[in-house]
Amino acid sequence: MKKKSIVRFLIVSIAATLALSSTVSAKNLSYWSSNCYDIGYMNKSPSLYYKKMDSSSSFPFLTAIQQGRSQWNSALSTSISNPSATNTSAIMQFYGGTKQQIKSLGCFVYVDDGGAGATIYTSENESAIHYYGNQRIIEHKIWGSKSAVLSDVGLSYNNCIKTTMHEMGHALGWYGHASNSSFVMYQGRSSVTTLKSGEKNHLSQIYR
Ligand SMILES: [Zn+2]
């Protein structure tokens, strides 16, 4: 009888340790620029794969990826790897192509919603809880992301850069959207190709 209760206690304490370890990194956040109260964290040096399915030279997909990589790396002190066309197991994946080509991948179900890009994750439901004032913020550990940028929906050169940078922001953990239309993380077509301090701060506080 006594033995049984010791075993039970051990199991309870292991469960309690697991629950605590997932919340120890709770932070008081100083900035919030999103319309939802979730945020993600990928890792400090994500590997990056890209597939340019639309080979047209007027689709500046790789240039856009490099701009996003450079600006987000500088904003978050991350080291997103050089885009590789062969590392298909990279944690961050970018696909650029026509709506039909992106549809053929089978994983982007929102490709018909009128947007120019999309990002999907595999992630943890709740890996940490933070607070922005009294607002509870749920952090999700992102295990992998896939982003798509469409080449045949009438995007200008700068629209394509913006869309790619925007999807990279989602891939790195920017959930929801900014209401400020001068932000890259604003939802909708724009020619903004420079990250603003408000959107950098929003995500960098999770990467610090
Ligand atoms: Zn978005």
The residues, ordered by sequence, that sit 6+ positions from 184 with a Cβ below 8 Å of its Cβ are: 162, 165, 166, 169, 192, 193, 194, 195, 196, 199
> What's the 47 CA to ligand 1 centre distance in angstroms?
21
The whole-number pLDDT of residue 17 equals 40
> What's the 118 CA to ligand 1 centre distance in angstroms?
7
> What's the 134 CA to ligand 1 centre distance in angstroms?
26
pLDDT at residue 207 is higher than 50? yes
More confident residue, 61 or 23: 61
Q: Domain limits of the chain?
A: 33-207
**pLDDT-based confidence at residue 12 (cuts at 50, 70, 90):** very low
Contact of 144 with 121, CB cutoff 8 Å: yes
pLDDT at residue 143 is higher than 80? yes
> What's the 196 CA to ligand 1 centre distance in angstroms?
16
> What's the 167 CA to ligand 1 centre distance in angstroms?
6
CATH class of 33-207: alpha beta
Q: How far is CA 18 from CA 64, 127, 166, in A?
A: 41, 11, 34
**pLDDT-based confidence at residue 109 (cuts at 50, 70, 90):** confident
pLDDT digits (tens, 9 = 90+) for 181-198: 999 999 999 999 999 999
pLDDT at residue 122 is higher than 90? yes
Over residues 168-177, the mean pLDDT reads 98
> What's the 20 CA to ligand 1 centre distance in angstroms?
32
The whole-number pLDDT of residue 7 equals 43
Lowest mean pLDDT among 40-44, 55-59, 109-113: 109-113
3-state secondary structure the chain: CHHHHHHHHHHHHHHHHHHHHCCCCCCECCCCCCCCCEEEECCCCCCEEEEECCCCCCCCHHHHHHHHHHHHHHHHCCCCCCCECCCCCCCEEEEEECHHHHHHCCCCCCCCCCCCEEEEEEECCCCEEEEECCEEEEEEEEEEEEEEEECCCCCCHHHHHHHHHHHHHHHHCCCCCECCCCCCCECCCCCCCCCCHHHHHHHHHHHC
> What's the 55 CA to ligand 1 centre distance in angstroms?
24
Average pLDDT value over all residues in the chain: 90
Cβ neighbours, 10 Å, residue 115: 17
pLDDT at residue 156 is higher than 90? yes
The whole-number pLDDT of residue 86 equals 98
pLDDT at residue 20 is higher than 50? no
> What's the 94 CA to ligand 1 centre distance in angstroms?
14
> What's the 9 CA to ligand 1 centre distance in angstroms?
46
pLDDT at residue 30 is higher than 50? yes
**pLDDT-based confidence at residue 111 (cuts at 50, 70, 90):** confident
**pLDDT-based confidence at residue 8 (cuts at 50, 70, 90):** very low
More confident residue, 7 or 64: 64
- CA dihedral (113, 178, 134, 29) in degrees, to 10, reads 120
> What's the 160 CA to ligand 1 centre distance in angstroms?
13
